Structure 1
Amino acid sequence: MKYRLHLCFALSLACSPKSAEESTDTQSTTGGTIGTSGDGPVTMGHSQTSANPSEPVTTSLGQTVTTFPTTEATTVSPTTEGSATDGDPSDTFPTSATTDVISTSSTPDFTTTGSPCIDPLDQPQSAPCNDASGCGCQTGRCFVVPALGGFCGECLVDADCPEGGCTVPNPVVGVGALCNTGKAGDGCQSDTVCFDAPANDCGVVLEVPGIIKVATCGECEADVDCPAQAPHCTPDYDIAGFTGQKKCKAPDSVPLDSGCDHDGSGDLACASGFCGEATIMNLLFLGICGQCNSDADCPIGQQCSEPAVDLDMGLLFGSVCL
C-alpha cells in the first residue's frame, strides 16, 4: 500500500515556489572644502541653517566666513589669497577667494536584491525541496519534478556526474537523483554516458508527459537498434525502483505479466500475441503482455479485463479473459 499511496499522492501534488522580495537601501554623502591663509581672513565651506545660505558670516575673531551650499560629491578649487604691497606686513588686505564647482554627481544607490531560499537550509540527500536553485540542499542541487515537488540529489543532468549519467529521483519511495557509472539500467540523457556493452543505448522506459521521463542505459532505444534474431525493443520494468531498461527480444518470447512496447511491436514480442496498456491515474502508461486486448479476443461469453499494476508489490498483471 505504501508505494501506491506515495506515487498517487505525489502525482496529485502541485508545488509553486514563493516569490522572492527585493529590498533597496540607498546611501548619500555630502562634502565641503576648507581654504586656509597664513595672515589674512579665512574663507571656507561652512554649514549654514539661515534662510540665505550664501550670506557671509563674521566671527568674533574678525574672520569672514562665507558659506556655500554643498552638493553631493562637490569638488572646489584651492583659494587664491591677496598680499600686501606697501611693505607693511601689518596691513591687511581682503583676500580674494575663488570657488569653482568642478563637478557634481549623485551618490549611487546601494541596492541589495536577492531571493531568500524557500527551503530549510543544509538538507541531506533525498530530503524534500522546492527551490530549484538548490540553496536548501547540502549538494547544492534540487531536482524538481513538476506537480510532484523535488528532492535534494547529486545531479540534475548527466554533466553533473564525472563517471556516468544522472539517475532521476524515485518519487515512489522518495529517493533523490544519483550519479552513476553508466552501467545497464543506470539513468541517462544520451548514449554518451552508457559505457557497458551491449547496454550502450539510452532509452525511455517510463514517462509521465510533461512531468518526468525515466531513461536508462539498455540494449536498444527502438526496434531498429536490435539484431534480426531479437528484433523487438522491449521495456523490462522495475516498478518499485521506478526504473527499468530496454532489451532486444525475439518474437513470441515475452511471457504473460511482463513488459512490452504497447506503442510498437509489443504484440509480436508477447508469447500470447497481446500487449495491453495499463495506466496509473491516466498519467503513467505501461505495456503488459496479457491474454487479450478486447472482448473479441476472448471465448464467447467472456470479457477481457484491463491490465493492471500493483504498486504495493511492484507487480504487473496482464489482461485476462473472464
Structure 2
Amino acid sequence: MVFKKLLGALGMGGPSVDTVLHHPHVRPGENLIGEVRLTGGNQDVDVEHVALGFVTSIETEHDEHAGVEFHRAVVAGRFQLREGENKTIPFELPVPWETPITSVHGQHLHGMTLGVRTELAIAKVADKGDLDPFSVEPLPAQEKVLEAFSQLGFHFKSADLEHGHLHGLHQELPFFQEIEFFPAPQFAGRINEVELTFITGPHGMDVVLEADKRSGLFTPRQDAFGRLHVTHDEALTTDWARHITNWLEQVIEHRGAMGHGGEFAHHPEHGHQGYGHYEDDHRRGSGMGGVIAGAALGAGAGIVGGMVAGEIIEEIFEDDEEEF
C-alpha cells in the first residue's frame, strides 16, 4: 500500500512509501520478507528511520477494543532521501512464535485482524502508514491439534484475542488467542463450547483447553481448564483426538468437582506417552471474556466452515485509522 500522510508535516509534495510483502503467508517463527519502496517528494529530506510494526486488535479488561503493536523493528537508520529519488529497503522481519493464527488452509479465521504498519520518521515526526495485511498459518504441530477437533466433529465458531497472561505459563506477548468451537455431537447438551489456546515457543508448545460445561439441576454453569506441554516433534505423533475426548469426558464426570475460578479438584489426565500431563489451570489473566465475537454457525460448518474468505481482511483494514 502507498501512503502520503507526511503532507501535514512537510507540506505538499512529501515522499511516499509502498511496502511490498513477497510472501504474505507465514508461520510462527518464520520471517516476513519484503521491501519498503520510498519515492522522494519535491525536496530533499533527512529520514531519521524506517520502522515496521506488527499490529492487531484485542479487547481490553473493560471490553474496549484497542490496537496493539506487538512486534517492532527498525529496518533503516538515518539517511537522506533526495528529491524524486527511488529507494528500496529490503527486510526480513521475524514472526514471534506466539503470533496468533489468522488462517487455516488458506481460509481466514473470522474475528482475526493482523497487519504490518510502516513508520517513516522525518524532522522528528514519525508518520505511520496504512496496514499491509498478512496471514499466519498454523505450525505443523498446531495443525495436528486442529485436525483432531475436526475429526471429532467440532465446528469452528470464532477466534479472538484476550489481553493478559495465562497463569503458570511463560508468555512473550501481552495477549493470547482463543479459538472457539461448537461442541461435537457426542458432547452436545453437556458442553456449551470448547476453547483452544496455543502458547508456542521455539522448542515446543502448551495446548490449553477450556470447556464451558452446561449447568445441571443442582450445579451452576462451570468452566474447566486443562493444559498439556509437548515438543514440536511430539505433537506430530500424539493422538490428540483420544486425549481431547478423554479429557472432556472427565470434565463432564467431575461435575461439581471444580474449585473457584475454574480450577479442578483433580487432574483431568495424567501421563502422555512420557511427554507431560494435563494440569489444572486457573487461567485468569487481565481481562478474560469474549473478544471480537464471531457469528454463530450451523452444525454443518466444519473447522473451515465459519471462516470467511481471505479477501475480507482487506475490508477490515480499509478503515484501520478509525478501528485502531
Normalising to structure 2: TM-score of the pair? 0.27
Structure number with higher helix proportion: 2
Structure number with higher strand proportion: 2
Normalising to structure 1: TM-score of the pair? 0.27
- Considering only CA atoms, is the larger Rg found in Structure 1 or Structure 2? 1
